[in-house]
Amino acid sequence: MTILVTGGAGFIGNNFVHDWLAAGDERVVNLDKLTYAGNLSSLADLRGDERHVFVHGDIADRALIARLLAAHRPRAVLNFAAESHVDRSIHGPSEFIQTNIIGTFQLLEAVRDHWSGLGEAERGAFRFLHVSTDEVYGSLGENDPAFRETNAYQPNSPYSASKAASDHLVRAWHHTYGLPVLTTNCSNNYGPYHFPEKLIPLVIVNALAGKPLPIYGDGRQVRDWLYVRDHCSAIRRVLDRGVPGETYNIGGWNEKTNLEVVQVLCRTLDELAPAAHGSSYAAQISFVADRPGHDRRYAIDAGRIEKELGWRPAETFDTGIRKTVRWYLDNRAWVEEVQSGAYREWISRQYERGGAGG
């Protein structure tokens, strides 16, 4: 048995691949474009593992997807591949349209062609799981109820608009063609292998380097925080038990302001890696101009996945943050490599587009 994972060298995708292989022996074909946030160093421990087949390629390359599906005949396709940074989408939205919309379309079409040619039993067992975000729902007021699966889509950034479009395509391919799809919308993830442009890894890296800890606006934007390994367990549960055509919100039940998150990080770093100057890392906090269209609050109601599929997160915010900080302290070489860009030079020497390796 085999699954195909797209975007499996990125933050959530590589955590999922590790989680999947730790739980069993089912093989993973891992397709990733290896943009700046996709990093083979995150998969270095899987080199030589016959259960993991890495392929360098783009979900928008329909011919490549078709070849992979024909060669490996996966029982499921899990789509993690996405451009995902709001700030980057504001400065350069075209890549988000290309990957998140056009790429999802080409992937769906290749999968539909493959699925249509399967035998009846294989067609019935096949699943296409699309990993999305709570940002498609827009912004909440301070006292609004958390996002449920029935909330209307109201995306406010090029990133969230492109993800909303991809969600709509996935839904349409189920209702029009019968493709057995599952969609998950998650809250903000954090944990190991997070590229250091997002809030939590950026604060950890900057704090240790003695740099300012930048917080947008007044720092009171609220997010629900989900430890990435909890997210992985939820995706496994949806793949195993989810109803085709349905959407499941995945959250951590951890609403925090950005300022609260940074303060917790500073306290944890003060304990685990005290600064040489003797002061708290909180002294490095710096407030910067807010970004355009910054959503004020996201919150996920994860009641449906708990009630229907029996899933709840295992980590609290405090336990998850502690594990995250410890990972970054123990893996400083990984941070230095992804920041230097050296891994991209290595990729260009070692792999050609569409190449494969264990």
Q: How far apart are the first and last CA of the chain?
A: 17
39: CB partners within 8 A, 6+ apart: 9, 10, 14, 193, 195, 337, 338, 343
Contact assessment for residue 223 and residue 188, using Cβ atoms and an 8 Å cutoff: yes
Q: By the 8 A CB rule, do 200 and 239 touch?
A: no
Q: Report the alpha-carbon distance of residue 130 to residue 4 in Å, rounded.
A: 12
- Asked whether the beta carbons of 58 and 64 are under 8 A apart, the reply is yes
What are the residue numbers of the active site?
134-135, 159
Instruction: For 57-180, list the strands marked E by DSSP.
Output: 76-79, 127-133
Rg of the chain on CA atoms, in Å: 20
